[in-house]
Amino acid sequence: MTQYSSLSTVKPLSINDLAAMKRRGEKISCLTAYDASFSMLIDSIGIDVMLVGDSLGMVIQGYNTTLPVTMDDMVYHTRCVSHVRRRAFVIADLPFMSYATPLMAAENAARLMQAGGAQMVKLEGARIDCVSFLFDQGIPVCGHLGLLPQSINQLGDYKVQGKERLEAEKIIADAHQLEQAGAGLLVLECVPAELARKVSTQLTIPVIGIGAGVDCDGQVLVLYDMLNIGVSKRPRFSKNFMQDAADIGQAIAAYHSAVKQSQFPASEHSF
C-alpha cells in the first residue's frame, strides 16, 4: 500500500508521468471519483488517476444511463474532486452532446479545466475532428473506444464490442487515428482481452482498460462498483474489493495493489 502522509509535498502527476509509466512497464491505477471526501481518500492511497466520469448519472443521480448528465453536473463534481487532490491526475468526461462540434468541444473542455480543475478531458468514439481541434488548442484529450455508454440507445444494450473481425479491425484503426490526432490517453471498455492487448502494444500512448483484460497499460473501475454499492447490478468485469477489506481505504488499497501487480483483472473479469 502506497500512502502519502504529507500530500502537500507531493507533486501532481502529469500526462508525461503516465506516458513514462507505460514506457517502463508500470501499471496505471485509476478509479472514478465524484466528491471531495472520496477524492482525498483515493489520492492519499496512491491511485494514479481519478476519472470524474459521467457514470455519476447512474451511481450518484440514479438514472438508468449517463445521458441526463449535464455540463453543470460535470463541472461541479470535477471541482469537488480536483479541489482537494494533491497527486492523482484528474480526467473529466465531456457528457452527452457536449462535443457535437469541435468548437463546442473546446468551449466545454475549457469549462472543465478552468472552472473544474481537470487536467484532461475524455470523449467517446472516434471523434478525430474534435480530438485534433482540442489538441491544437492545448487541451489534453483521452479517447474512449469499445463500449460507448453515451451511445446506448444506438447500441441497444451494454455488451462486449469488437468480437467480430471487422469490428476489432475498426477499433484498432480508430485507436491509431485518435493517437495521431493528438489523444494522450485511451480508455478501452468491454472488448476482448486479446484485442485490448493488441491495441495497448501498438500504441505509444497509455491504454486504460475496463473490462478489457490485464494486458492494458492500466485499469479503471467505477468506485461504487468495486465497493459493491450502488443502485444497479455490479458489472461482471468489476470485482468486490470490499469483500476482504476491513474498511473502504483498505479496499481501495487492495485494488491499487492488484492493478500494479497485474493481479486484476483476472480471467473471470475479462472477455
Answer whether residue 1 is part of any domain: no
Answer whether residue 74 is part of any domain: yes
Answer whether residue 146 is part of any domain: yes
Answer whether residue 180 is part of any domain: yes
Report pLDDT digits (tens) over 113-168.
999 999 999 999 999 999 999 999 999 999 999 999 999 999 888 899 999 999 99
Answer whether residue 242 is part of any domain: yes
Domain that holds residue 214: 7-269
The length of the chain is: 271
Domain tally, the chain = 1
pLDDT at residue 156, rounded to an integer? 86
Answer whether residue 138 is part of any domain: yes
pLDDT at residue 75, rounded to an integer? 98
pLDDT at residue 157, rounded to an integer? 85
Per-residue HEC secondary structure of the chain comes to: CCCCCCHHHCCCCCHHHHHHHHHCCCCEEEEECCCHHHHHHHHHHCCCEEEECCCHHHHCCCCCCCCCCCHHHHHHHHHHHHHHCCCCEEEEECCCCCCCCHHHHHHHHHHHHHCCCCCEEECCCCCHHHHHHHHHCCCCEEEEEECCHHHHHHHCCCCCCCCCHHHHHHHHHHHHHHHHHCCCEEEEECCCHHHHHHHHHHCCCCEEEECCCCCCCEEEECHHHHCCCCCCCCCCCCCCCCCCCCCHHHHHHHHHHHHHCCCCCCHHHCC
Answer whether residue 2 is part of any domain: no
Nearest alpha carbon to residue 100 among 120, 71, 138, 79 = 71
Say what percent of the chain tops pLDDT 90.
Answer: 92
Report pLDDT digits (tens) over 197-214.
999 999 999 999 999 999
CATH number at residue 201: 3.20.20.60
pLDDT at residue 3, rounded to an integer? 54
Question: Could you give the residue numbers annotated as active site?
Answer: 189
Nearest alpha carbon to residue 191 among 176, 179, 175 = 175
